[in-house]
Amino acid sequence: MIEANNPALSSWVEVPEHSDFPIQNLPFGIFKTESLSPRVGVRIGNHVVDLKTLFVLGYLENLPFELADFDTNFLNSLMKKGKQGTRALRNRVSKLLSSTQPDLQKNEHHVEQVLISVDQVTMCMPVQIGDYTDFYSSKEHATNVGMMFRDPANALLPNWLWIPVGYHGRASSVILSGESIYRPKGQIKPDPAADPIYAPCRNLDFELETAFITYDGKPLGESISTTEAEDFIFGMVLFNDWSARDIQTWEYVPLGPFLAKNFASSISAWIVTLDALEPFKTATPQQDPKVLSYLEFEGKKSYDIHLEVAIKPKESPENIVSRSNFKYMYWNMAQQLAHHTVNGCNIRCGDLMGSGTISGPTDDSYGSMLELAWKGTKPIPMNDGTERKFIQDYDTVIMRGHASTGTIRIGFGEVVTEVLPAK
């Protein structure tokens, strides 16, 4: 067992009941305050641990880190130390916060310097993303889309059950939770019999996803196997990969997503390490036909993570519109990374890999409005008496996720984004 995962651990830092951030989580992020420059922090309960100050005070000695790894705008420098480095760091922080360890706890002056209330911090983009790839790995989602737009009897394209389909996205427009987006504009074709028009998107959609963030991979020309893959994954975030469905319908043939996807993708602020999620591993759904050799894997490679999506109209209560689970994904992260690198593609520290829309087997577990409202034919009622086929201006979309054993809850917090009218 990884030391920091011990379910018997408790902390001298107060952690509210049902918090996403017990001592067994300790996710990493970048924060700042009115008086502190951006730096690395770890979340516990309703507090952030300032790792820069913790390092300066001498609590992180004999670890493979320097001050610059914590006094930084991004986690990339810290992640350059690899899985063993970040694991040792998380274990050390866990030990310092444990109720059985007096070293930090007994020094009130130090505690005052390193422990900051979350209501005093502003979260920053956690990583400098070099490249972003989005997969298409939910069989339920791919089947639903295929039924809507192609032959319902042959919903999946011939390659779907053989390869983890993906495309290269736009890293520059990945934004942090809390940042609003503007409704995108582009070419749409509302009348199939007429020419396309230039207009604001009319069918704006969310996509319920997670994403994983990588350590440095192997050199160009080498591949990462499914056995090795998790050693190259730092952690996971919640991910809302916004989609302009009407722009997408017109543009995606023959090369796939472009303007329909590159205007914004929203991520949560705290990166939950793959180490912290270790207790929640579960079996991947049965894959048929049998996968090719480089996609074969042993053991549990999927994760049981509960997910939900809420829509909050302006000045109205939120409405939960979807409850899903990451465990439904047909292709797991190890297979995605193995496929991404099988041709020798080099993965770099801070690369972002979207899971693809996460849809479950029931109509209340679908991961997009396209499916939930079934292409606009089944509008979703809101608490304020309105209804939604797609996302409207001034709607806020909120995604949450957590894994739970019943006693230990490892959560991601939220990814929250408001939609503003087109400029």
CATH number at 331 reads 3.90.850.10
Dist CA 240 CA 302 (whole Å): 20
Segments of 249-350 assigned E as strands: 265-267, 272-273, 281-282, 302-303, 306-312, 319-325
Do 146 and 104 sit in the same domain of this protein?
no
Vertex 170: Cα angle to 164 and 172 (nearest 5): 145
Total number of domains constituting the chain: 2
| Catalytic residue list | 141
Q: Are residues 412 and 331 in the same domain?
A: yes
- 113 shares its domain with 144: no
User: If you ran DSSP here, which 8-state letter would residue 368 be given?
Assistant: B
Confidence (pLDDT) at 1: 86
Cα radius of gyration (the chain) = 22
* Domain shared by 72 and 162, yes or no: no
Same domain, 239 and 362: yes
Are residues 355 and 215 part of one domain? yes
Q: Which phi and psi angles does 178 have, rounded to 5°? A: 100, -20
Distance between alpha carbon 372 and the CA centroid of its chain, in Å? 21
What pLDDT shows up at residue 151? 86
Whether residue 70 is found in the same domain as residue 137:
no
Of 124, 158, 181, the domain-final residue: 124
The tens place of each residue's pLDDT in the chain, 423 residues long, gives 899 999 999 999 999 999 999 999 999 999 999 999 999 999 999 999 999 999 999 999 999 999 999 999 999 999 999 999 999 999 999 999 999 999 999 999 999 999 999 999 999 999 999 999 999 999 999 999 999 988 888 999 999 999 999 999 999 999 999 999 999 999 999 999 999 999 999 999 999 999 999 999 999 999 999 999 999 999 999 999 999 999 999 999 999 999 999 999 999 999 999 999 999 999 999 999 999 999 999 999 999 999 999 999 999 999 999 999 999 999 999 999 999 999 999 999 999 999 999 999 999 999 999 999 999 999 999 999 999 999 999 999 999 999 999 999 999 999 999 999 999
175 and 114 part of one domain: no
Last residue within a domain, chosen from 124, 142, 162: 124
Give the integer Cα–Cα distance in Å for 143 and 336: 19
Question: Are 187 and 147 within one domain?
Answer: yes
107 is in which domain, residue-wise? Answer: 3-124
Pull the structure tokens for residue 408.
Answer: 């230990």
- On whether both 100 and 137 belong to a single domain, the answer is no
Q: Is 343 helix (H, G, I), strand (E, B) or coil?
A: coil
Res 150: pLDDT? 85
Dist CA 417 CA 104 (whole Å): 37
Tokens read off for 345? 């593609």
Closest C-alpha to 126, from 210, 198, 44, 29: 29
Residues 93 and 220 in one domain: no
Distance between CA atoms of 355 and 211, rounded to whole angstroms?
Answer: 6
Q: Between β-strands 181-182 and 204-205, what pairing exists: parallel, antiparallel or unpaired?
A: unpaired
CATH number at residue 119: 2.30.30.230
User: Which pLDDT value is given to residue 245?
Assistant: 98
User: Does one domain contain both 271 and 380?
Assistant: yes
Distances (CA, A) of 404 to 190, 196, 240: 44, 48, 22
